[in-house]
Structure 1
């Protein structure tokens, strides 16, 4: 469905579509009228109708968008399910909390991507929980803090990692990037994830840095961070803007990957317009 807001934003495309429709229609109908006798009023009504139909067709919401960034970075935006993308067998980013929880039902719900990953790629195996925890071990070399005991609900975790910490798990040639993108608020009842927009930005920088350190030369699929259960309070469009800004900032410092494929859940399609000039402006900002 084409919203009034979209029509207002894309008024220039509507005019261009009408003109292109008139020209295209006339190029077909005019030769036809010279060969056969057309009904009275056929041209007068048919050309405007075809032009309007073409303009409406051009106004249909975009479902994917290719962008270019610094250091030859390619960014592909699309709507869909991250687990049905063709490149998830090479690299896939998964948002998680700062304890890297994987199974506690108080914090990890079935709708979360980490739960879906466990089910769809690891057959709900308990081995998945062990693998994720083991993947955090290399992070100890980068942070200096004392291990301590936390409530039993936190799966026996002894470390609360800084946002942006990214545990990398490689299984059968696929890199999984688990990024701490929200903090578990132990004071809330029940405890839940929280993150401010600056904290989300920091978390994303950590993700891009981890991808840079594990280059595979192949695309990495990244879901929309910050618009789900991370507790940022951001609208999907705002979360996408933060993702792109952080990506540009990181790519200017060092090449990240040949291609980042940001996959936006279909439920956000009514909130995000891929024809928004702001998206292109972010990628080309100096």
Structure 2
């Protein structure tokens, strides 16, 4: 600093200016780092021995950009009711839910009709037990109710496979809900399905219960539970797992400190 500051300036003033400059540089670096951290949308929360990882991120599960290589197959988890209903009418299946959005995409592709999709699901689940629900207990829709966590893998278009994941149960008033016990069982079965049916390609799953699936548990707690479930089953992870929180609610749910 001697070459820059006047020689007649007192030593204490030179020190004060030097410290001020260092503080300004530190604050600038801190600001840049903070903005970078705040703008970050994907966090790796778990790495397993085979090189795969579990990520938390903000985004849209239907976007190909949610995975590291958008040109390859990706598996999208879609929470559905345990009867695997296929009719989008905003009563049985709402067009605004992930279930409804996925069904509309499948129908729009021309790959399935409602009838052919029912046939395909029944073929995929032919070895899975189910109960026949009476019209008194479920007035509308399909009556085959499968166990919580049952997964049917449906090929879509453009390298997309849908993991229809049985989660919610309709009551006699056609209100869907999921108990914590059912949710726990369903998560474990989903982890097993990812291991057995992902073919090593990434799995993209939503944070359930954020207005697109119905659970009564706080979403931050659900997020922690999901991460811990994968952590406990790390030996069963055979692909990258991307847990996605909708971009629209990122102000409500933190993913950086899980």
TM-score range, shorter chain: 0.7 to 0.9
Contact 2:167 2:186 (8 Å CA) reproduced:
yes
TM-score normalised by length of structure 2 = 0.77
Q: Give how far 1:75 is off.
A: 0.7
Contact 2:106 2:156 (8 Å CA) reproduced:
no
Tell whether 2:150 aligns with 1:165. Answer: yes
Q: In structure 1, what is the equivalent of residue 169 of structure 2?
A: 183
Secondary structure of the 1:83 match is: coil
Greater helix content: 1
Q: Distance in 1 between the 2:112 and 2:211 partners?
A: 26
Q: In structure 1, what is the equivalent of residue 229 of structure 2?
A: 246
Tell whether 2:250 aligns with 1:264. Answer: no
Instruction: Identify the match of residue 75 of structure 2 among 76, 86, 91.
Output: 91
Contact 2:89 2:95 (8 Å CA) reproduced:
no
Q: Which runs of 5+ in 2 are unaligned?
A: 7-13
Number of residue equivalences: 238
Q: Which runs of 5+ in 1 are unaligned?
A: 1-32, 280-286
TM-score normalised by length of structure 1 = 0.70
Alignment CA distance shift 1:99-1:48 (3 Å): same
Contact 1:220 1:261 (8 Å CA) reproduced:
yes
Summarize the alignment of residues 206-221 of structure 1 with structure 2, pairs less than 5 Å apart: 206-221=189-204
Deviations 1:122-157 (A, max 9, x none): 427693534542224332412154x355368633x1
Q: In structure 2, what is the equivalent of residue 81 of structure 1?
A: 60
Alignment CA distance shift 1:202-1:58 (3 Å): same
Q: Distance in 2 between the 1:153 and 1:46 partners?
A: 73
Q: Distance in 2 between the 1:53 and 1:36 partners?
A: 22
Q: Distance in 2 between the 1:218 and 1:104 partners?
A: 32
Alignment CA distance shift 1:129-1:244 (3 Å): farther
Deviations 1:162-220 (A, max 9, x none): 2111111123553210001111122x4xx221112232121122222222222422211
Q: Distance in 1 between the 2:124 and 2:49 partners?
A: 28
Q: Distance in 2 between the 1:245 and 1:68 partners?
A: 10
Q: Distance in 1 between the 2:112 and 2:145 partners?
A: 22
